Amino acid sequence: MQIMRWGTDHPSITGTIPDINLKSWGLVVDGEVERPLKLMWTDFARISTVNSVSDFHCVEGWSVLDCRWEGVLFSNITSQAKPKKGAKYVLFECADGYTTSFAQDELMGDNVLLATKLNGKILEKGLGFPLRLVVPGKYAYKSALWLTRIHFSSKNKLGYWEERGYSNTADVWKNDRFSK
């Protein structure tokens, strides 16, 4: 299938694409965890990766089918950080200030990735370089670009679009686009 240009699946909330330097980029995993992490790019790049094929759906009504993602399973990061028993929610923060959140159990599937590649190529800047979240079955605004932090908590905090009326569950198959 031909892949269309889709670098604006949720454009930067600042209006510009962050210019990320891999020498200084890091992923912080913190909050209610037994083992907080700060993974610099060289650390992250050493974690084993998997491939996953899934469709990508925008809340505006378009889709890209059969995307071949490569990245680290979210469950791998969870097993390293060891969230505390009460930490049922996860907030993702991005280099441009964007946020999104999930119940932790929604992220434990074998197709939820912290992706570094799409269709065999390193992510383009407009698609989230160097790291983006990919959660198949959820609308694209939940697949945060330019990840910098994963925060575990016992309380759910709504993300950027969820605070503005979009659904927090964002289930594509239920056409769950907006808050009730």
Q: What domains can be seen in the chain, in order of their start residue? A: 35-168 (3.90.420.10)
- Average pLDDT score over residue span 57-65: 74
Instruction: Work out the pLDDT band at 180, boundaries 50, 70, 90.
Output: low
How sure is the predictor about 58, in pLDDT bands with cuts at 50, 70 and 90? confident
What's the whole-number mean pLDDT along residues 72-81?
Answer: 97
pTM for this one? 0.89
Tell me the percentage of the chain whose pLDDT exceeds 90.
Answer: 67
Lowest mean pLDDT among 69-78, 111-120, 151-160, 167-176: 167-176
pLDDT bin (cut points 50, 70, 90) of residue 153 is very high
DSSP 161: T
**Which residue, among 139, 167, 143, 168, has the nearest Cα to 156 in the 3D structure?**
168
Residue 173: what pLDDT?
A: 64
